[in-house]
């Protein structure tokens, strides 16, 4: 059972990591916790679901539509809720509250659209195929989740560290003023950062909606809480840390359910968060993976 | 002339309010806070349909004479705070003399104490044992924990469970009671509890939990949660390798269309108990099924039947309360319900001293995507 549960933990952790990637990217660049990330994730999942159910599009197109929708909603969140505050030089706290406010607006819209119903991708949207290796069962969907999460994370890392775009993002993250003097337009960088963050959230929305058979206007809330744990575990603003933190969280949660009790798993996770904040406020991989951080510490 | 006009005006002034008063006395306001959306909608949407259908039938039949029932149905969004606000509004602003409630025990436990404190009778189909809140609170259906015991007895007779695992909602008292009802009976005959695991209503990832369950050598899995979540757990459990030989026992929440829709082929063979069976040959039931299908285009489920019974019971209580339609009089009417013909249970509903009717459930299973008697 241990091998199977480790695999389950890996898959669950991949979904947490996928969600946390966009969340930590925005934090790394803007130094702001975008509390609307859960609502953007929900918007992406809704777009993907309706693309399959209402427009009857194939899943790969629905996935792309979810990413595009998530990206656009994320950009809109920045333009409406965060950009005006940046221009006025408001505090980071104001930006957090503003993102919380727009998250409520988005969730209310999701509630109205879905009439608060729990929705699902239709049967057969993703083929149900189970493989067994040495007594461990893995479904095609689980394998796809693992593969996609890794692919998206490494694409993001390549983008940030091997392209001109990435250099501009890192420059703005270090100093908006200096990068402006060097000819970089921070607003374009913010636009691109929010779009990528939202597109990742949209992708996570479809994957998680498919994996756990549930699409709901509040689906982002529990993941947002988990994302806090992930980025604290991995180190605030660290892309690699989010990946490792997500997988660690998934494994810890799964092992807690498997060998202790399902009632205790949340208590264990949040106790861990508390301990890490006390002992290593920069996260477990804050120093170890400093080279992968978007923000220079 | 002026004097006559003044007299006429005086008579008119006195008579109109009296006439209006009579007209007002011929209308009673009934508030229905019901979760037509959200996590409890799977049960409350059909329940709302049942209530609406029964209200139309009662109005059409003229059985209440000139009296009209003004039914205020409002959505709680499966939010107990919204349910509390609605009940306060029904009682304080709309002057409701009766509250008919949601199937959700979580919501009922929040708003029923308001009805009790304001001395407004409430007739609820909440699954939990909520009549204990006070003497103004009545249930329209048997407590599921009780009918789950009857399911357990039938299951013991047919399948003799030996090794059992339980998964239940820890944030809903009713589902804990329903699990306990089965567990108590199973343990009395020596069935071993190998695993007892909890979830919360908003959980969606059960992969670790069901892998743990699948690794146990169990013959029976009891799942006590909402219909949609039950279906989701079963899908994930079968994918995690839960052998098809393991029988799954569920609560009356499985008796909903949403359960079949979400679960698809994975929920074939699930055994559960229900207050209602669509195939009941009584004339009352056949007429109900026909009217429901005609109005909504689908077959009624357990919750539609319970909703229908709630309003029929309320109408009978209001009728017996007449001509005094005060809350106190309606409360007495509810307490005096005896041998009311019904489509639930054994076909006759009598309020017990615990303000909860008692009857055995019908044990059903899913076969070819339909509910059939076991």
Residue-wise pLDDT tens digits, A204-216: 999 999 988 889 8
A53 touches chain B (CB under 8 A): no
For A175, half-sphere exposure in the C-beta direction (CA atoms, 13 angstrom radius) is 7
Same domain assignment for residues B113 and B261:
no
Chain A residue numbers with beta carbons less than 8 Å from the beta carbon of B204 are 212-214, 219
A132 in any annotated domain: no
B169: nearest CA in chain A?
A263
B370 in any annotated domain: no
Same domain assignment for residues B66 and B121:
yes
Q: Report in angstroms the alpha-carbon separations of A115 from A252, B35, B37.
A: 35, 11, 6
The rounded distance, in Å, linking the Cα atoms of B271 and B158 is 12
The rounded distance, in Å, linking the Cα atoms of A228 and A234 is 10
Which pLDDT belongs to residue A169? Answer: 87
pLDDT, one tens digit per residue, over A232-289 is 888 877 888 888 889 999 999 999 988 888 888 888 888 888 888 888 877 777 644 4
Same domain assignment for residues B24 and B136:
yes
CATH number, domain containing residue B151:
3.40.50.2300
Same domain assignment for residues B161 and B270:
yes
Interface of B with A in 178-207 (CB under 8 A): 197-199, 202, 204-205, 207
For residues B280-306, give the mean pLDDT.
91
The rounded distance, in Å, linking the Cα atoms of A249 and B294 is 52
A164 in any annotated domain: yes
At residue B31, the 3 state secondary structure works out as strand
A60 sits in the region (left: phi over 0; alpha: psi -120 to 50; else beta) called alpha
A57 in any annotated domain: yes
Chain A residue numbers with beta carbons less than 8 Å from the beta carbon of B240 are 4, 137
Average pLDDT, consecutive stretches of 10 residues, N- to C-terminus, chain A (297 residues): 89 91 87 91 96 93 96 95 87 88 91 78 84 86 90 89 88 85 89 94 93 87 88 81 89 89 83 84 61 44
Number of domains in chain A: 1
Query: Is the distance from CB of B335 to CB of B355 less than 8 angstroms?
Result: yes
**B170, B197, B240: residue with CB nearest A137:** B240
CB contact under 8 A, B236 and A213: yes
The rounded distance, in Å, linking the Cα atoms of B217 and B84 is 45
Same domain assignment for residues B270 and B293:
no
Indicate the residue among B245, B274, B303 that finishes a domain: B274
Task: Establish, for the pair of chains A and B, how many residue pairs have beta carbons separated by less than 8 Å.
Answer: 73
Q: Where are the beta strands (DSSP E) in chain B?
A: 27-34, 68-75, 98-100, 122-124, 137-139, 163-169, 192-199, 220-224, 247-250, 271-274, 340-341, 348-349, 362-367, 370-373
B3 in any annotated domain: no
Interface of A with B in 252-291 (CB under 8 A): 253-254, 257-258, 261-263
The overall average pLDDT reported for chain B is 88
Q: Which residues contact B15 (CB under 8 A, 6 or more apart)?
A: none
CB contact under 8 A, B41 and A12: no
Interface of A with B in 56-85 (CB under 8 A): none
| pLDDT reading at B17 higher than 80 | no
Which pLDDT belongs to residue A297? Answer: 39
A277 in any annotated domain: yes
Which pLDDT belongs to residue A242? Answer: 87
Same domain assignment for residues B149 and B135:
no
* Cis-peptide into A197, omega within 30 deg: no
The rounded distance, in Å, linking the Cα atoms of A158 and A165 is 10
pLDDT, one tens digit per residue, over B124-148 is 988 788 999 999 999 988 877 778 8
A172 in any annotated domain: yes
Which pLDDT belongs to residue B4? Answer: 56
Greatest alpha-carbon span in chain A = 60
A174 in any annotated domain: yes
For A241, half-sphere exposure in the C-beta direction (CA atoms, 13 angstrom radius) is 31
B365 in any annotated domain: no
Which pLDDT belongs to residue B153? Answer: 92
A28 touches chain B (CB under 8 A): no
A130 in any annotated domain: no
Q: How many CB atoms are closer than 10 A to CB A40?
A: 35
Same domain assignment for residues B269 and B291:
no
Query: Is the distance from CB of A7 to CB of A225 less than 8 angstroms?
Result: no
A115 touches chain B (CB under 8 A): yes
| pLDDT reading at B61 higher than 90 | yes
Query: Residues in chain B, how many?
Result: 374
Token pair of B50, please? 């049942």
Domain containing B127 equals 11-142+281-359
Indicate the residue among B250, B274, B298 that finishes a domain: B274
Flag whether the ipTM exceeds 0.85.
Answer: no
B241 touches chain A (CB under 8 A): yes
Domain containing A24 equals 2-121+139-292
Token pair of A278, please? 């006390």
Token pair of A43, please? 């918007």
The rounded distance, in Å, linking the Cα atoms of A265 and A252 is 8
Number of domains in chain B: 2
For A191, half-sphere exposure in the C-beta direction (CA atoms, 13 angstrom radius) is 5
B227: nearest CA in chain A?
A118
């Amino acid at each position: 059972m241990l091998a199977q549960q480790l695999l389950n933990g890996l898959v669950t952790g991949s979904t947490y990591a996928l969600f946390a990637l966009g969340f930590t990217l925005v934090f790394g660049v803007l130094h702001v916790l975008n509390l609307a990330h859960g609502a953007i994730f929900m918007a992406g999942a809704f777009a993907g679901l309706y693309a399959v159910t209402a427009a009857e599009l194939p899943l790969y197109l629905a996935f792309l539509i979810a990413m595009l929708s998530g990206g656009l909603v994320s950009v809109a969140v920045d333009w409406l809720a965060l950009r005006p505050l940046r221009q006025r030089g408001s505090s980071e706290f104001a930006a957090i509250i503003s993102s919380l406010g727009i998250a409520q607006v988005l969730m209310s819209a999701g509630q109205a659209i879905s009439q608060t119903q729990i929705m699902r991708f239709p049967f057969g949207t993703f083929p149900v195929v189970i493989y067994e290796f040495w007594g461990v069962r893995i479904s095609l969907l689980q394998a796809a989740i693992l593969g996609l999460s890794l692919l998206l994370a490494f694409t993001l890392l390549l983008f940030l560290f091997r392209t001109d775009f990435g250099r501009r993002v890192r420059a703005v993250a270090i100093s908006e003023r200096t990068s402006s003097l060097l000819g970089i337009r921070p607003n374009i960088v913010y636009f691109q950062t929010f779009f990528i963050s939202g597109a990742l959230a949209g992708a996570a929305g479809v994957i998680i909606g498919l994996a756990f058979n549930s699409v709901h206007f509040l689906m982002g809330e529990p993941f947002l809480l988990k994302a806090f744990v992930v980025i604290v575990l991995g180190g605030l603003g660290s892309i690699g840390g989010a990946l490792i933190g997500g997988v660690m969280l998934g494994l810890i949660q799964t092992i807690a359910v498997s060998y202790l009790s399902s009632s205790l798993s949340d208590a264990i996770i949040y106790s861990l968060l508390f301990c890490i904040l006390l002992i290593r406020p920069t996260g477990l991989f804050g120093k170890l993976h400093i080279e992968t951080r978007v923000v220079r510490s | 002339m002026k004097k006559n006009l003044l007299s006429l005006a005086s008579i008119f002034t006195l008579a109109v309010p009296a006439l209006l008063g009579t007209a007002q006395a011929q209308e009673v306001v009934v508030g229905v806070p019901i979760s037509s959306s959200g996590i409890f909608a799977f049960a409350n949407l059909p329940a709302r349909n049942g209530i609406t259908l029964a209200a139309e039938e009662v109005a059409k039949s003229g059985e209440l004479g000139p009296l009209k029932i003004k039914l205020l149905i409002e959505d709680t969004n499966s939010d107990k705070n919204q349910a509390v606000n609605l009940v306060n509004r029904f009682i304080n602003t709309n002057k409701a003399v009766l509250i008919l409630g949601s199937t959700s025990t979580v919501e009922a436990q929040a708003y029923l104490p308001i009805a009790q404190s304001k001395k407004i009778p409430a007739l609820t189909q909440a699954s939990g044992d909520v009549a204990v809140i006070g003497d103004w609170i009545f249930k329209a259906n048997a407590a599921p924990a009780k009918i789950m015991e009857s399911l357990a007895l039938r299951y013991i007779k047919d399948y003799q469970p030996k090794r059992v695992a339980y998964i239940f909602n820890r944030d809903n008292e009713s589902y804990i009671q329903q699990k306990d009802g089965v567990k108590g009976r199973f343990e009395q005959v020596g069935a071993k509890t190998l695993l007892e695991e909890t979830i919360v209503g908003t959980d969606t990832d059960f992969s670790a939990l069901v892998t743990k369950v699948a690794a146990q050598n169990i013959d029976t899995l009891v799942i006590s949660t909402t219909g949609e979540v039950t279906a989701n757990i079963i899908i994930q459990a079968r994918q995690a390798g839960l052998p098809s030989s393991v029988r799954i026992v569920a609560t009356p929440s499985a008796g909903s269309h949403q359960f079949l829709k979400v679960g698809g082929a994975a929920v074939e063979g699930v055994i559960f108990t229900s207050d209602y069976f669509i195939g009941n040959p009584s004339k009352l039931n056949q007429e109900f099924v026909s009217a429901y299908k005609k109005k909504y285009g689908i077959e009624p489920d357990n919750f539609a039947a319970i909703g229908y019974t709630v309003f029929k019971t309320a109408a009978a209580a209001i009728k017996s309360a007449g001509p005094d339609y005060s809350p106190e009089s309606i409360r007495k009417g509810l307490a005096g319900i005896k041998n009311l013909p019904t489509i639930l249970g054994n076909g006759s509903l009598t309020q017990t001293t615990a303000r909860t009717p008692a009857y055995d459930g019908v044990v059903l299973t899913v076969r070819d995507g339909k509910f059939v008697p076991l």
